[in-house]
Amino acid sequence: MSEKLFIGSSLLSKNQTGSLEFQIYYLTNRVLKLTDHLKLHSKDYSSQRGLWKILGKRKRLLTYLSRTNLTSYESLINKLSIRKLKIR
């Protein structure tokens, strides 16, 4: 696995492990690892299902963060370089 794809842990300190931002960071790191795995093993459907579950949880956390603290949401989106949520 290439290490340059994964996000460094210097974004958030170890004291914030329960915070919403750290949870989103951790889920994003897992998404990157799973997508790298699925590039090699394209028919691993159980990992694909796990990826979908992780993406759903990250999306729910991001919507909550966008509703409660918009500035923190925008800075986290920029740091992790992920797309903004679609507003319906």
Spans of all domains in the chain: 18-80
Residue 16 in this model has a pLDDT that exceeds 80: no
Residue 17: pLDDT band by 50, 70, 90 thresholds? Answer: confident
User: What gap in Å lies between CA 63 and CA 60, rounded to an integer?
Assistant: 5
pLDDT at 12: 56
Q: Which CATH number fits domain 18-80: 3.40.50.1100, 3.40.1180.10, 3.40.50.2300, 1.10.287.10?
A: 1.10.287.10
pLDDT at 6: 57
Residue 3 in this model has a pLDDT that exceeds 50: no
pLDDT at 85: 87
The model's pLDDT over 19-76, given as tens digits with 9 standing for 90+, comes to: 999 999 999 999 999 999 999 999 999 999 999 999 999 999 999 999 999 999 999 9
